[in-house]
Structures are given as structure tokens and as C-alpha cells.
Amino acid sequence: MAALVLAAALAAQAHAATWTIGTAAGYPGDAANITVSIRGDGATSAAEVDLTFDEVQLSLPVDSGQIPNAGRAGSCGRTGSGRVTAVVQGSGTAPLASSDTVVCVIPFRIQTNATPGARVPLGPLHAECGSSSGVLQVCSVSVGWVDVLGSTAPSGGQSLQPYETNTVAILLRAPNDAPATELVVSHDYRHAPAQAPVQSLRQVPPRRVRPPHPYFPRGDYLARLQREPNSPEARLERYVYADFDSRGERESALRLLKGDPAVETAYVVIATPINGAGSQPGPKAVASAKAAITTQDHLDTFNLPAAWNQAGGWGLVGVLDNGIAPNHVELRSFTGANSIGGNFVVGGNYLPYFSRNVGGRGAPTNLDEAQSNPYEAGEEACDGDGDGLLSYSPAGHATHVSGLIAANGLDGAGLRGNCVRCGIAAVRISRLVCKSSIVVPETRPDLKTDGMTFLAQHGAQVFNMSYGSTEGLNFADCQSGPLTSECDGLSLAWQQDIVMAAAAGNDRMGLLDFPARDPRVASIGGIDDNGTFWDRAVAGETRFCPNWPNLSECGSQWAPDLQGTMRQEGVAHAATVRSTFYPGKTWNSSCGDGLPASDSAPSDGNGMCTGTSMSAPQYAGLFGLLRSINPLLRAGDPVEKATPLSPLGIRDLVALTASRGGVEDVKLGFGVPDANAAVAAILGTVRNEPVGNRVTPLFGLYSAGNRDYAAVATPQLAMALVLYSTNAYAGSGAAIPGYSAFPNTAAGAPKARALVLTTEAPTYVRTPARTPLYLLEKKRTGATPCDAVNDPRCYGDFILLTSTTQVEAAAAAGYAYGGLQGYVYQRCTPEPTCLPAGTQKLYLQCNTAIQDCAVFLEHERTSFEVSGYTAALLGGDPVLGYAYPVVDTDLDSLPDGFEYVIGTSPTNSDSDGDGVALSDAIEYPFAGLPVSDPCAGPNLTCLRGFDDVFRSGFEGQP
């Protein structure tokens, strides 16, 4: 490498920037990526550091010259035997940033013959800093190292790094150019390698080839994939995973696969250890924590108590994590084991129906975060008690995250999530493995992708991803390539208009973790108890960090600048955050049921955690709350960094109402959200009064293959049933004024059976109380041409209920509970004069001959009864309550029911007479954000008047 040339200039002054050399740990044969960063001193404009390493213990991918893909803000190269040089220079003569800047990430690999237990130092030969004034000076520099792991468990302060597995991810080409996925994974490679359907695998046969999930596309879904081979879902179904016995076999196969005409791409799968013991702060972190945590400060910071006066939410939030404590009193939806059976818990939010264990070990329905897993041949050394299972003590991270999203406050401790009535779809994306006689929980891209696919194809409206990495394949990310299955998973979620939040990372550097750095994802950083950016360094000195000189758990990560697509979107509490926890468990030394140390009830199921893993779910809960108020509002993108001119949506709304007034910052993003301001903005004002409620379509769907009518209240679930069902659904009912297309237009034109309310709050006139619509579904084994037992895309009978007694009876009869789908008015007396203006009775009636029930309004009752839908479900009341029909009398693209609820005129397209350009639909669009007051003009025909405003509001928080 050419010597560093430092610019010459004028005056001399003392200065010295600080180089920080990271640390890593891994087993022989593993990757050990070392981050090299620098913090400027206000004068240094260029710097260089030479490092030495032991070639017996470590190797690099090049013998000399630039190290491929290592450079970030600067460059790194191998400059001799056992020597690496890092170089960085500011823009022009400008000094280097005074915050830590990643110069490069050196991709060391631990030699296969490295000494277990050895600490391999990365020491500086020399470090030189220069300024624009021409002064050269020795820089400060820390010593990094790589710990070679062996037969003993890692100590408390170590951080297990991502490591290469002997698995190769293979994306097969479209069906006309490659064998079918099912054929590839069903082949016996050990006994018939010569007949392998993929030519490359004949020469280097794997031990096995696994599918992306244990069920294959069938029926209408398979036919659509064949018609649309370039869609994200079609690509995801063509990924397979080949397991090899050795690194040598893996590398040989990888070279062949990259040239195979049947293969679009192939890459080594990187596993990421996620164990609490392997990424825990040291004792300093606990010592600096609050002496006692009895409140949830983050709720007040977000101004949530005020927001809850309008809505408690009911959206479906997918939590990609380690599972959940399925019986937690703050989360369960039923009192039976694993939240199934027993008594229905009104306000319970964990939904086993929408949850799945995709970790590949253990039953798909086992979401218990503390579960033991079966193991595979070769892992016997980790089965200490001979029970055939791998066991691991730390647990609770996912339960803490889930509680921040949707704890319901039912245990007396007062713990609440940001969206107290949102449904939780928990997906376990981890599994236990035995690595060098140590049980390690790990996640892999294929597990995360399978989790994203499951949630997207089952109607999740929001994703929370409290995980991430800056290492390995992940650094290339989805914008600059190479594309991986995770990129296709994010594309699928974006296609379904899912709002995604992810943790920025805890390594205190100007580089965001993946997937937080992806522009389709809201990257959430952390603040501390004082509301300032979370940083454990003291006056910039990182030696005070808990794992120094490793910067893990040292503070929130942030965006490198405000120029590219990698942007911090916002911040939330990351330090000493209180939430639900797996009772009696600990995740790490700053995260557990018994924390803080002053906790008088260490097994009560609530505790403290620290990290941006806690920040992201606060946003996910808020996103779920806002999505509940207007399910039609798009995900949005506050800096239009994913799609130019993307529609104004949820993320835009949160950014514009946050503490920084819409102004970005590299660390704080748009600041701390104001939930009450966001709720007020999404509801708007009519006649200078805050609107308390809205309506949304109850989408009507019918599957001829399932012989099932379904009614759901979110575009995501409606699209999922249309696009991803083995027996496809199609729109059934009336066209929807003001909402002519789904976000994913492949789902066809949306239709609706009725319009339902979106919040618990009263409308502006006195009306009957609101009651939730509860969704349930029952599989019909043998009644449909799909596998209802093993295929999660195979459905039976969808129903809606409003009585908790009916919910319990239906659950006892085999229906699975799927959470809330908006609200309707309760029945009143005397009918029909007590019905709110414009509403009709909403029925649930069944056709016993085909085991199907349908939801419909009074005006459709005759036609449904003629078709055999005459019976009440389980002898209950067939009338669910009152809802609005899908009509638009004044043809202004605002349904009449919507105008009845907000108070504009259903017979006049310009209720306040302020001109066509300011019609009701322009000022207060059905599917968008309110722009202005539609009842503020000179010629009022609005329904809402000051004499009939129901001023008491929605009293009593959820």
C-alpha cells in the first residue's frame, strides 16, 4: 500500500485523534471481523495506523494489497507479513469527525489449528495523525484482539461474533430454468449423488438440502407463483439450503454452484449467536442502573397516556425474536396452558394463532422462550443430562420486547405496552445448537426470512426486529448487494405495506445494524433516562464502557450522515427500560426479571433491560396504535429513501409530529415521538372539534375452494388471504368509495361487506357503546383440498364475534382466536329507532351443511339465507351489533358511514361550501391523513353541530 501522504499547511499545534481497534471471538475456522474506528480531535484531517497480527492464529483473504469489502470511511490493506494498515482522510482539508467513525472492518478468519483459549492481540506498530497545518503526531490507539473459543463457555464480558456455517443458501432460477424446489430438497444426495437434480451437487453432494420452510406451495398459491416468478414470494419459495459436512466441501460446492445455470445466486449462511451470556454487559452496567424502577418512563416520554384517551389500538404486530412467555398474565389471551383454552382474557394480546416457531427445532406451535430443543447427530456432547435435548438458561428478551409493544396492564403491576390492545404475532427465529461442546442460541438469515414470510402471509401490519448485525454478508445490505433471502423477505413485507421497526444497534458507532439500515425499515436509536442520546462513554472516553475495549453495549449506533439511504429515523428509551419478563429468568446482567437489584419480587414477570432492542418495540407499538385508527394509511417513508414519492403514511406522521419538528439529525433522527400529537393528526378536526372515531372497510372475501366467506378489517390480512392462500380468496361485497386498490395491486380490487369503527371512542353524537369484533378461524380437516394440519396457508371457516361468552364457546368448539378487527355498536333498545343514523344490523349466520358462517348486513340477509346461511353459531345471538353499509350517496369518494361518524354531510360533497378544490374528500380523505377541517367554510351543511357534540370524550384509559 502506498504511504499515507498528509497535506502540508500553516501553523503547528498539538493534536492527536484516537484509533479504536475492536475485538472479536470465535471458534477455529470462524470469521472474526475486527472494526477499526477513529475519533477526531478537531484538528486531525488524516491518519494511519499499522497493526500486527499472529498469522499462525489468524488469516486474511489476501496476501497483499487492498482487502476486498473492508473499507468503510477509509481503507485497509495487507502491507506485509502479519501486518495490516488502515488509512483515513477527511473531505479536503476538513478535520475528521469528533465522533467515532468506522474506517474499515477487517475480515480475519481464525485458523483451523488456532489454540483454543488463546487471546490473539492486534497491536499497533505505529499510529500517525496529521492536520491541514502540516503537523504530524503520534495518534492514541487501543489494542484489539481475537479470542479463540474452545471447550469452555465464554466469560461474562465476551461477545460471540457471527460465524460462517457449512450451509450454502441457493436461490434456484425460475421453474423453466431450474428443477422445482420440492424435487431438489427431496433427493437422497448421499445414496444417489449422480442423479442429483442440480448438476453442481452431483460433484459435491451435501448431507441434505432443506426447503425454506417445511410446507410447499400448493393449489392456487402455487399457480400464482408460476405466473409471477419474479415476485418476492416466488423467489422466497425457490431458496434451498444445502448442509455440508466440512468447510472444504462447502467451498468446493459454492464455486460450482456460482456457475451452475440452474442457480441464480449462492452464498454461505452466516449464523449469529444471540445468547444473553455471550453479549452481556459487565458488572458496571448493573451498578450504573437505576436503584429502583417502578414506573415506565417511556410511556410519558411518548405522551401515550393522553393518546390512550382516544384509542388503545388493535392492530397485529409481528415480533421476530426468541418466542414469548406464553402464559404471562400481561400477555396471554386465554388462561389455559400456552394461552390456549380456559377462560378468554379480554385485553389479552398474545395470539398463538398468528404465531410460529420457525427455528427448525421443536414444534412449530411451541413459542416458549425458555424451551429446550432436540439436537442433531454430532451434538451429543451438549446433552449433559442425556434427555435428548439441548437446554439453555437465559430467556426473556422476546417477552420484554412483546410487553413494550402490547402489555395489557392486567396483573396489577400496571405494565402497559404502547398499544395496549394490539395483537402479538410472536415468531421464534432462533434455535439452540451445540458448538464446540457449548449450547449456543443462534439465528440465521433463513430463519429470519421464514419468519418474515410467515408474518407477511398472515396479515401482520407491523414488524418489530430487535436484532441486527454489521458483520459478514449483512454489511453489503440490500441496496448495494449481494441480495440475500433477507432482502427478499423485506421486499415481501414492503410489498404488503408493512411498517417495520428495527434496533439501530448497541456498539456506539456511526454505522447502523442491518436490517435497521435498510431504507424500508425505521431505524430506532436510543436515549437514556435523561432524554439524551444513549452513550455509556464518559466525556468521550470509551474505557468506561462495560465491555471495553469492545464497544458492545457501549451506546446506541447512529447514521453515518444525512446523505445516503442509511438514516436514523428516531429514538426511544434504551436505558433501564421496564417491561414484562419471562418469570424468574435472566437474559443478561442488565436484562432480567430480578433487575434492578432492589426488585423485591424477582420472579414476578417484570424487569429491566437496556439496549436499542428496547427502543424499536416502543415504535412498533406506536405504529400498531396508529395503524388501528386508520388501517388504510400507508406505511410511508419520512425521507422518501425507499421509493421516490412514496405516499404520506404512518412513518411520515410520526416523524413530523416528533420532538425535532421534522428536522433530521444523524443520531436522533426526527427525535422522540409524540403519540398524542400523531393520534390527533390522524383523526383530524371537524368543525373545530377533535374527531373521536373513524370507520374502515370490513373487507369481504370468498374462497370457492374452501367454501368460506371471510370478513377482516385490515388490508394486510385481506391481501394475505387473496394472495397466499392455498385455496385463494377473492373480493366479495361492494366496491369501496375512496379505496379502489390494495397496496399490492396483485390482490385485485378490494370489496367490503360493511364499514366498522376503528376506536373505542364515542362519535360526536350520542350512540350505543362500542364493542370489539373478535376474529376466529376453524380448520376443516378433510373438507378442503388442502392440508389443514400441516399447511398454515390452508384455512377453514372465518367468523367474527362480539360476546366474550361466544368467544369461549367457539374456542371450545375448535376455533382459534385471532384478535380484534375493529368495533361495532352494541345492540340497543328499542330497535330500530335506537340504531345510530345510517347503520344496519350486522349478522353472523351459518350454513351447517357446508360448515361455514358468514358476516353480512341487514340488506344482504335475504340473499344469504336463500343460500343456506340461516343458523346461529352455537345457538348464540346472530346479531353482532350495528355497522354501516358501503354506500356513497353524494359520490364524493367518502362512504356515507364515514361522513356520519366524522360529521360531514353524506348528501353534499362539499359540506362547508368552500369550493370544489376543497371538497370533503380533499380535506379529509378516507384512506389518507386529514388535510384541513371540512366543516370550516361559509355554507355549512355538516351533520356535526356544536349543540350535539358529545363533549365528555373517551373517559378512562385502556
Strands 879-883 and 239-243: unpaired
Task: With cut-offs at 50, 70 and 90, classify the pLDDT of residue 783.
Answer: low
Using one digit for the tens of pLDDT, what is the confidence trace for 894-943? 999 999 999 999 999 999 999 878 899 999 999 999 999 999 989 889 98
Lowest mean pLDDT among 492-501, 531-540, 576-585: 531-540
Name beta bridge partners: 321. 428
* C-beta of residue 436 within 8 angstroms of C-beta of residue 27: yes
Q: Please report the pLDDT score of residue 646 as a whole number.
A: 55
- Residue 290, pLDDT above cutoff 90: no
Give the Cα separation of 902 and 920 in Å (integer): 11
C-beta atoms surrounding 185 within 10 Å = 18
What's the pLDDT score for residue 393? 86
Q: What is the pLDDT of residue 331?
A: 96
**What does the pLDDT read at residue 3?**
34
* Model pTM score: 0.85
pLDDT band at 284 (very low <50, low <70, confident <90, very high): very low
The answer to whether 362 and 374 are in contact (CB under 8 A) is yes
Q: Is the dihedral of CA 355, 360, 362, 363 positive or negative?
A: positive
Predicted confidence band of residue 851 (pLDDT cuts 50, 70, 90) = very high
Taking each helix axis from N to C terminus, what angle separates 675-683 and 612-629, rounded to the nearest 10 degrees?
A: 20
CA pair distance 501, 522, nearest whole angstrom: 5
Tens-digit pLDDT profile for residues 207-223: 999 999 988 999 999 99
Peptide bond just before 212 cis, omega within 30 deg = no
379-400 pLDDT tens trace:
888 887 888 899 888 899 999 9
Confidence of residue 275 (pLDDT cuts 50, 70, 90): low
Check pLDDT > 70 for residue 89: yes
CA dist 442 and 463 (Å) reads 20
The number of residues in the chain equals 958
Alpha helices in 189-281 (DSSP H): 200-203, 219-227, 232-237, 247-257
Decide which of 114 and 319 is more confident.
Answer: 319
Residue 279 has pLDDT above 50, yes or no: no
pLDDT in tens, 871-895: 999 988 999 999 999 999 999 999 9
Task: Supply the pLDDT for residue 791.
Answer: 87
Range 384-413 burial, b when 16+ CB lie within 10 A, else e: eeeeebbebebbbbbbbbbbbbbbbebbeb
pLDDT of 600 higher than 70? no
Q: What is the pLDDT of residue 58?
A: 92
Tell me the pLDDT tens digit for each residue of 435-471.
777 888 889 999 999 999 999 999 999 999 999 887 5
Q: Which whole number is the average pLDDT over 736-748?
A: 97
Is omega for the bond preceding 697 within 30 degrees of 0, making it cis?
A: no
pLDDT at residue 598 in the model: 55
Residue 398: closest CA among 332, 341, 326: 326
Output the nine-digit C-alpha cell for 463: 414488524
pLDDT surpassing 80 at residue 546: no
Cβ atoms < 10 Å from Cβ of 215: 15
- Report d(CA 222, CA 237) in Å as an integer: 10
- Give which of 291, 660, 275 is closest to 440, Cα–Cα: 275
Q: Please state, for a pLDDT cut of 70, what percent of the chain lies above it.
A: 90
pLDDT at residue number 150: 56
Residue with cell 340504531: 835
**Nearest CA-CA partner of 785 in 89, 39, 220, 275:** 220
Residue 864's nearest CA partner among 837, 880, 843 is 843
Question: Distance between CA atoms of 113 and 83, rounded to whole angstroms?
Answer: 20
Q: pLDDT tens for residues 5-23?
A: 222 322 333 447 888 888 8
CA–CA gap between residue 563 and residue 557 (Å, rounded): 17
Q: What are all long-range contacts of 649-654, with beta carbons under 8 Å and residues at least 24 apart?
A: 649/499, 650/499, 650/623, 650/626, 651/499, 651/522, 651/569, 651/623, 653/626, 653/678, 653/681, 653/682, 653/929, 654/570, 654/619, 654/622, 654/623, 654/626, 654/678
**Range 696-716 average pLDDT:** 97
DSSP state of 337: G
Task: Kindly report the average pLDDT of the chain as a whole number.
Answer: 87
Strand partners, 37: 20, 102
Instruction: Show the beta-strand stretches assigned E in 111-238.
Output: 119-131, 136-138, 140-141, 144-148, 163-172, 208-210
